[in-house]
């Protein structure tokens, strides 16, 4: 399961708390600048990939700091992130292949 959340830049330290949690720390979590994916967006994006149980824990413990991205925007940003990762992987293959 993949989910994207907005996190205000002032709350950047919350990401460190999230990644230090026993369960959440085992999930895939990345912090990204939202302006790279959404024009004029001032916040950060937390990219979560993991179990539904982990997602629920994330929302339960840190929900007051996070805002789940709207479905349409979330799907668009996920596509952009996956394309970005794919380009990075093919570039690494070219360098080290």
Number of C-beta neighbours around residue 92 at 10 A: 10
pTM over 0.85? The answer is yes
CATH topology of domain 2-96: Ribosomal Protein S8; Chain: A, domain 1 (3.30.1370)
pLDDT confidence band for 88 (50 / 70 / 90): confident
Band of pLDDT at residue 74, cut at 50, 70 and 90: very high
Domain ranges of the chain: 2-96
pLDDT tens sequence across 7-49: 999 999 999 999 999 999 999 999 999 999 999 999 999 999 9
Give the span between the Cα atoms of 13 and 54, in whole angstroms.
Answer: 19
More confident residue, 94 or 16: 16
Rg (C-alpha) for the chain, rounded Å, is 14
CA 47 vs CA 93, 95, 97: distances in Å: 24, 27, 28
């Amino acid at each position: 399961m993949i989910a994207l959340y907005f996190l205000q830049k002032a709350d950047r330290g919350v990401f460190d708390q999230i990644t230090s949690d026993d369960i959440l720390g085992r999930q895939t979590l990345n912090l990204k600048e939202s302006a790279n994916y959404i024009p004029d967006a001032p916040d950060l994006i937390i990219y979560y990939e993991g179990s539904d149980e982990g997602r629920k824990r994330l929302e339960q413990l840190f929900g007051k700091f996070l805002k789940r991205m709207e479905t349409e925007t979330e799907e668009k940003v996920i596509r952009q992130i996956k394309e970005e990762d794919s380009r990075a992987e093919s570039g690494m293959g070219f360098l080290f292949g």
